[in-house]
Structure 1
Amino acid sequence: MYLCPLCNGLEQRTFQCPNCHTIMEDQGKITDYFDDYSAYMDIDIMKLYDGQPASLENHLCLHYFYCPSCQHQETTSIQE
């Protein structure tokens, strides 16, 4: 069984903003932002629509990171 260490609170990772070097905030998986109910859908089904063709096969969870200082946004693949 695969699970995302960030989604499940097992790890906390920090990423530095490439623009201003502020620590970026993890805003969760990108599929949670698709519509009002996407956060309640099956995770494996939502991986078919996350924009990364092999995220399901490679066990990747795509997270949205946001910089509160300069508003830079980034998507990062997290290995499950």
Structure 2
Amino acid sequence: MFVCPLCNGLQTIVVHCPACNWEMKEQGRVVDYLDDYSPYLDDEGLKLVDGDQNSSEEHECVHLYQCTKCDRDRHVSINELHR
């Protein structure tokens, strides 16, 4: 079993905006923004539709980061940990 260290509060990751270098705010998993029910669906199935077909093989969880200064978004792949 693999778990995302960010989703499970095991670690925090600081990401800086590529445009203004401001610290970005983590907004959750990208797949949670797909539709109203995606936060309640199976994680492994959702990884197949998050835009990265290899994420289920590579055990990654893609998170959305947003800059509070210039409002840019960035997707960051987080390596999941084997549990």
Pairwise same-fold verdict (TM > 0.5): yes
What does residue 9 of structure 2 align with?
A: 9
Letter in 2 for 1:4: C
Quote the offset at 1:39 in angstroms: 0.4
Number of matched residues? 80
Residues 1:24 and 2:24 aligned together: yes
2:44 is the alignment partner of 1:44: yes
Structure 1: tracts of 5 or more residues without a match = none
Q: What amino acid maps onto 1:35 in structure 2?
A: D
SS of the aligned residue for 1:57 comes to helix
Structure 2: stretches of 5+ with no match in the other structure:
none
Q: Larger relative CO (CA 8 A, sep 6+): 1 or 2?
A: 2
* SS of corresponding position for 2:45: helix
* Higher percent of residues as helix: 2
Note the aligned Cα RMSD (angstroms).
0.6
Displacement of 1:3 in angstroms is: 0.3
Q: How much identity, in percent, do the aligned residues show?
A: 45
Q: Structure 2 matches for 1:68-79, cutoff 5 A?
A: 68-79=68-79
- CA deviations 1:9-28 (Å, max 9, x no partner) are 00000011111111001111
